[in-house]
Structure 1
Amino acid sequence: MERKWWKESVVYQIYPRSFMDSNGDGIGDLPGIISKLDYLHELGVNVVWLSPVFKSPNDDNGYDISDYQDIMDEFGTLNDWEDLLEGLHSRNMKLMMDLVVNHSSDEHKWFIESRSSKDDSYRDYYIWRPGKDGKEPNNWTSVFSGPAWQYDQETDEYYLHLFSKKQPDLNWANPAVRKEIHDMMIWWLDKGIDGFRMDVINLISKAEGLPSTPGGKRYDWGGDFFMNGPHVHEYLQEMNREVLSKYDMMTVGECPGASVEDATKYANNGGTELNMIFTFEHMDLDSGPGGKWDVQPLKLDDLKECMTKWQKGLEGKGWNSLYLNNHDQPRMVSRFGNDTSYRVESAKMLGTFLHMMQGTPYIYQGEEIGMTNVKLDLDDYKDIEILNMYREKVIEGQEDQAKVMESIYMKGRDNARTPMQWDDSQNAGFTTGTPWLKVNPNHAEINVKQALEDSNSIFYYYQKLIKLRKEHDIIVYGAYDLVLKENEQIYAYTRTLDHETLLVLCNFTEEAAPFEWPRHLNGEAGQLLITNYADQGCDTISSNTLKPYEARVYLSK
């Protein structure tokens, strides 16, 4: 297998608005991030992925960009950004920027021109259609609820917005749009960035003719209408030829609804498109027939089947990205672990489970100290998706308010966006002002200061996971195989490379979990590389019972 620096890296995602505020306005900023670079360096991560910091009216927290080549005033200046890049590079860390080009803000100069006249030269930069029988051009609905079309009185036509109405979709069928985007990417790469995370990049090609979905059905992330469209690979291969292939860089595409087969095209070993993609399949395993907000208990068998399908499906063909939470997903320890009596143990177990697989691991800010979900009053939530869903289900749909709020507590995106918990002081040391989003009340117990003072903390465990990855090629390049498939409590797998075998055992329950050693290991587990129970003595490392949420990793030769 070809060695690549991005395969051997560990990425840390920063959501700038919530990371660190330097000036007391309650909003995280670039100087705040710069002040914490030594912290990230101590953790040991190689790459920092910065969620959008571009000029934006902030309808969707920066994912609605009004100027791709300038910095949002709240975050600082382009000079601050250059200081951040220098600070990272001087510490041998790399910077990956967000690329949000399925849509722009409706306040971008392109769209202002586009909506001014049907004859304007920028008209075809966006997707405009006349209505049908006084209604929208088709029956697509926005990811954020409601129709995916917005009527514009100025020119008596509708424009497409798969997200907020302030996020009009760009028309990638127009070569001039693609050229503008390529030029903008080159501008950032020439400034010295090391890669792009590409927001919903598999939505850039829509179905020919923009047909309605059958039976009046609302949008479906598994459908073919605006996802993995007919020209998406053509557009990405062009981007690769014109831009990506000319730099030693890292790319990851956010691709909701992509299958393993899709991923072998997007993230192929030939390097004609992207390095890897973010799949969402494992993020939907606790969703019922009603979608994201229809929360169901996770079944371990489903997780085993899903993760194994991706591990084996991309083996020798592409590369996996590994994540369990991010800015759009709830906190993993609250979702897949136990955020009360076994918070530390289950957070370490989940980290082990993920970091020992084949692929590039992504750590979301606060994950390394075990930050949890939060329960806020409805008025305290800021996320457009939460507020639109509540209006649609409770105010307009008359659904049970308590049940809807429970779904928000479990799956709402603001769970991930509460400010980073640096210490036990007021506002968790995030700001001297009023935070833009309330701080989780548990910051008095869960914070960086506490973690750095405790040698058995989640932080130091993650530090060790990252260090092991750098020391053992098998963790990066070894082949994956599921073992103990029938065990209902334990997720176990091996990694093999040359004459070495890695055995990973993870108890996903709060009960003790007995198991039988995999036969091909002949009862010989090997050297214990890491375990999340600090009191694990030499007499118990070969025990065939895992404690609640226990994780063990063995290396044998």
Structure 2
Amino acid sequence: MEKKWWHDKVAYQIYPKSFCDTNGDGIGDLRGIINKLDYLKELGIDILWLSPIYASPFVDEGYDISDYYKIAPEFGTMEDFDELLEETKKRGMYLIMDLVVNHCSDKHEWFQKALAEPDGKYADYFYFVKGKNGNPPSNYRSYFGGSAWEPIPGTDKYYLHMFAKEQPDLNWENPTVKQKIYDMVNWWLNKGVAGFRIDAIINIKKDTAFPSFPPDGNDGLAAVSKMIDEVSGVGELLEELKEHTFAKQDAFTVAEVFNMKEDELREFVGESGHFSTMFDFSAECVAGNRTWLDTSPVDFHALRNAVFASQLKCQDICFLANIIENHDEPRGASRFLPDYAQNEAGVKMLATVNLLLRGIPFLYQGQEIGMRNCPMGSIEDYDDIGTKNQYTAALADGVSAEDALNACFHKSRDNARTPMQWCSSVNSGFTSGKPWLKVNPNYTEINVAEQTGRADSVLNYYRRLIALHKSDRWKEVFTEGRFAPAYQDQPSVFAYYRKVGDTCVLVAANFGVDSVTLPLIAPAEELLLKNMEAVKSIGTNLLLPSCSSAVIAF
């Protein structure tokens, strides 16, 4: 596989609204990110991905964009952005933006003009479709619940919104729309951004006949994703996007893709694929493919099998982007670790097996200190539109408020969006004002300041782990090395080899309650990293206590 500039990099997602507030309005800002660049550099980060900072009404926290060329005033100014870009480059870092082009905000100028003239040219920027017998054109349920069709006042038409009704879908069959999107993407690339994380991109291809499907719920609706699963031709749109934008400047692109067909992997992210890489959601799918109310622990064997299968499938085709958590998922420490492992040792163990997989590691803000899900007192404490809709639907189905709120604690996207925990002072040092979202009450114990000064902290372990991944001696094996599962007969062990040439490294972790002794393939040449002192390499045996991990070179 041809080596790319980004193959050996480590990336970090910033959720700007919750990262660092410098003006006391309770909302994080670009100035706050600038102030923390040295912290991120010391952590070992190369690529920063910013969740949307464009002008927006924030119905879906910035994923409803009203102007692609403006910075939301809540975050600062374009001058602030230019300074941020300059400062990242000074530190040898790269900045990528969030690209949201399946839909825009209903406050966008295009949509406002479309509403004003439902039969005019701007209506064709979206999907304005006649209803059937006084009903919507089809029975699609949006990703956020309820009909994916919204009536257009004064007409017999509806517009399509696969997400919230305030997020009308853009019509990618319209050449003018596509060109305007290309122009915008190139404008940001010419500004100096290194690339994009690309949101919900698989959804841009629609079956414009908009067929209905058999209902899959009590509401008589069918998931809109069914239409996406059935339609073909998205690859042509994606290749056009690449050719007109990304390919011109060797941009790094990481796609959010859930509905890709089985045989499309090489087309999407192979050497000549539409994108540089895409997120590996195999673990998220194991955890997420359950009902909202199912809060049982994630099955370890299903998790291990899914990750191993993904690694093996992809290693001759592409580099994936590996994640534990992001802005759309609960905290990994609360999600993937059993109760007895939800401690510092367990968090380090989870980090070890994830960060050394084949692919480019993506950290999410707060992951490096082991931030957890946040208990909320009531549904009013939540901000996320999806969480509120799920809670309301649960109550309508007869679920108690207590059980519905418990599900929110385990599943809500807001678990990842609570403010970054910088120190033990008021509001965790995130803001001097009132934070836009509740700060996790555990901030007095889990915060950057406390962990910076403690050698055995989660933060300092992440620093050592990233340094190992990027070190001159071991970078090649952790970047280019092949992946091979190990010790699959051990029911509580998550282990694999990374191999390149004569170099072989074992990454092993014990997710179980009891200690495990693993027979090694040879005496260890060097114990590169361990998450607790009790881990021992003795002769050709490796002793792994509960919740421990080790990285061994042979």
Give the CA deviation at 1:464.
Answer: 1.4
Would you say 1:161 and 2:161 are equivalent positions? Answer: yes
Q: Following the alignment from structure 2 to structure 1, what is the Cα–Cα distance between the partners of residues 499 and 423?
A: 41
Give the CA deviation at 1:281.
Answer: 3.3
**Matching residue of 1:84:** 84
Please give the root-mean-square deviation of Cα atoms over the aligned residues, in Å: 1.8
- Give a deviation string over 1:334-387, Cα, whole Å, max 9, x none: 111257775211111111111111011100000001111111022111111111
Q: Following the alignment from structure 1 to structure 2, what is the Cα–Cα distance between the partners of residues 336 and 541?
A: 32
Q: Following the alignment from structure 1 to structure 2, what is the Cα–Cα distance between the partners of residues 541 and 61?
A: 54
Among 488, 494, 499, the residue aligned to 1:496: 499
Q: Following the alignment from structure 1 to structure 2, what is the Cα–Cα distance between the partners of residues 140 and 539?
A: 57
Q: Following the alignment from structure 1 to structure 2, what is the Cα–Cα distance between the partners of residues 476 and 228?
A: 36
**Matching residue of 2:483:** 480
The within-5 A match list for 1:103-118 is 103-118=103-118
Give the CA deviation at 1:156.
Answer: 3.0
Q: 1:145 to 1:215 in 2, by over 3 A?
A: closer
The within-5 A match list for 1:61-80 is 61-80=61-80
The within-5 A match list for 1:149-228 is 149-215=149-215, 218-220=221-223, 224-227=226-229
Q: Following the alignment from structure 1 to structure 2, what is the Cα–Cα distance between the partners of residues 298 and 541?
A: 35
What amino acid sits opposite 2:431 in the alignment? T
**Matching residue of 2:391:** 390
* Secondary structure in structure 2 of the residue aligned to 1:503: strand
The within-5 A match list for 1:364-379 is 364-377=364-377, 378-379=379-380
**Matching residue of 2:309:** 309
Q: Following the alignment from structure 1 to structure 2, what is the Cα–Cα distance between the partners of residues 502 and 89?
A: 33
Higher mean displacement: 165-174 or 261-270: 261-270
Higher mean displacement: 338-347 or 81-90: 338-347
Q: 1:73 to 1:276 in 2, by over 3 A?
A: same
TM-score by length of 1: 0.95
Q: Following the alignment from structure 2 to structure 1, what is the Cα–Cα distance between the partners of residues 71 and 231?
A: 31
**Matching residue of 1:131:** 131
* Secondary structure in structure 2 of the residue aligned to 1:226: helix
**Matching residue of 2:524:** 525
Q: Following the alignment from structure 1 to structure 2, what is the Cα–Cα distance between the partners of residues 83 and 30?
A: 9
Q: 1:126 to 1:539 in 2, by over 3 A?
A: closer
**Matching residue of 2:260:** 258
Contact 2:66 2:105 in 1 (8 A): yes
* Secondary structure in structure 2 of the residue aligned to 1:516: strand
Give the CA deviation at 1:297.
Answer: 2.3
- Give a deviation string over 1:492-550, Cα, whole Å, max 9, x none: 111111111111101123x12324325xx2x42331111111x2476669654311210
Give the CA deviation at 1:390.
Answer: 1.0
Give the CA deviation at 1:288.
Answer: 5.7
Contact 1:288 1:294 in 2 (8 A): no
Q: 1:503 to 1:154 in 2, by over 3 A?
A: same
Contact 2:102 2:203 in 1 (8 A): yes
Q: How many residues align?
A: 547
Higher mean displacement: 540-549 or 318-327: 540-549
Q: Following the alignment from structure 1 to structure 2, what is the Cα–Cα distance between the partners of residues 501 and 125?
A: 54
Contact 2:535 2:543 in 1 (8 A): no
**Matching residue of 2:246:** 244
**Matching residue of 1:40:** 40
* Secondary structure in structure 2 of the residue aligned to 1:190: helix
The within-5 A match list for 1:4-43 is 4-43=4-43
The within-5 A match list for 1:392-411 is 392-394=393-395, 396-411=396-411
TM-score by length of 2: 0.95
Contact 1:257 1:279 in 2 (8 A): no
The within-5 A match list for 1:355-366 is 355-366=355-366
- Give a deviation string over 1:209-239, Cα, whole Å, max 9, x none: 1111224554448x54125842211011111
Contact 1:139 1:216 in 2 (8 A): no
Q: 1:287 to 1:78 in 2, by over 3 A?
A: closer
Q: 1:541 to 1:168 in 2, by over 3 A?
A: farther
**Matching residue of 1:267:** 269
* Secondary structure in structure 1 of the residue aligned to 2:41: helix
Q: 1:219 to 1:458 in 2, by over 3 A?
A: farther
Q: Following the alignment from structure 1 to structure 2, what is the Cα–Cα distance between the partners of residues 257 and 457?
A: 38
Higher mean displacement: 176-185 or 399-408: 399-408
Give the CA deviation at 1:56.
Answer: 0.1
